[in-house]
């Protein structure tokens, strides 16, 4: 599966992913102590929904077009960033680096990795004037081993790959093992696209094998799974905030009304401890 963000900006998987991400950010903002976010696959930060890539697919019609200008009570940060980025008319869509950057306080940090040289250059130029944001043109998986733990000792590792390679789930598993060895108490969120149950099961297995004792798996599919269509997406979170499971359930309930179809489905469940399985 190839998931270059520019072609899918603002689709239903992006809405779920980014709304879920802001729930974790809300938790980190509750304490005055600084936090750090490592975003392993940053893309370009902000996407023009009138670009050739976005217009070629028009996937925003089944995603952000249905939520923009409507209240999203379960994800207020997500809604606020959308509105502040666009004003009255929808044109731009915030990727994960932009969502994080807009909530950073003075002493919080965002470390963004992007391996694609053109996208990485765009990202670096976009955030050149923000001293809280550090852009690295490097492999995000390798950065997990090299940059953890952060000096702040609290924060999030957000793993959001394009799933261009057949070995993506293996690389995720290796990254999670490395992350657990370096920073076992950090929050790790892994996003994945859904056509069937295969990829989600692999991510869950990777989390158990890495050694994490507390993790949840949330999946939101506004389209029926048939093994071919991009039906939705999932977010697996290691060391989740204690309120996150309930908040994700409420988010899915709300998104079903806003963007769900006749065969929409969702689930939020614990990933069993590997040692207990």
Catalytic residues: 160
Cα separation, 83 vs 86, in Å, equals: 5
Q: Where are the beta strands (DSSP E) in the chain?
A: 36-39, 46-48, 92-94, 109-113, 133-136, 155-159, 187-194, 215-221, 232-238, 265-270
Its sign, for the CA torsion 17, 166, 196, 237, is negative
The sheet with strand 109-113 has its strands ordered as 133-136, 109-113, 36-39, 155-159, 187-194, 232-238, 215-221, 265-270
Among residues 15, 12, 5, the alpha carbon closest in space to that of 41 is found at 5
The string of DSSP codes covering 78-134 is HHHHHHHHHTTS--EEE-HHHHHHTT--TT-EEEEE--SHHHHHHHHHHTTT-TTEE
- CB within 8 A of 181, min separation 6: which ones? none
């Amino acid at each position: 599966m190839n998931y270059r963000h520019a072609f899918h900006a603002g689709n239903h998987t992006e809405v779920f992913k980014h709304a879920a991400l802001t729930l974790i950010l809300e938790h980190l903002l509750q304490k005055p102590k600084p936090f750090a976010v490592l975003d392993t696959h940053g893309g370009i930060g902000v996407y023009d929904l009138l670009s050739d890539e976005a217009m070629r697919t028009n996937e925003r019609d089944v995603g952000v077009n249905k939520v923009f200008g409507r209240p999203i009570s379960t994800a207020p940060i997500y809604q606020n960033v959308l509105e502040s980025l666009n004003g009255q008319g929808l044109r731009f869509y915030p990727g994960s680096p932009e969502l994080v950057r807009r909530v950073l306080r003075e002493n919080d940090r965002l470390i963004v990795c992007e391996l694609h040289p053109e996208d990485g250059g765009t990202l670096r130029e976009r955030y050149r004037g923000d001293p809280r944001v550090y852009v690295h043109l490097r492999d995000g998986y390798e950065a997990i081993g090299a940059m953890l733990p952060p000096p702040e000792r609290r924060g999030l590792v957000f793993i959001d790959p394009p799933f261009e390679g057949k070995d993506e789930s293996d690389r995720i598993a290796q990254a999670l093992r490395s992350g657990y060895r370096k920073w076992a108490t950090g929050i790790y969120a892994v996003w994945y696209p859904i056509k069937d149950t295969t990829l989600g099961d692999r991510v869950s297995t990777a989390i158990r094998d890495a050694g994490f004792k507390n993790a949840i798996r949330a999946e939101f599919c506004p389209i029926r799974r048939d093994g071919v269509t991009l039906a939705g997406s999932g977010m697996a979170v290691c060391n989740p905030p204690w309120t996150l499971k309930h908040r994700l359930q409420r988010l899915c309930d709300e998104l079903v009304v806003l963007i769900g179809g006749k065969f929409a489905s969702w689930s939020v469940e614990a990933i069993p401890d590997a040692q207990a399985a």
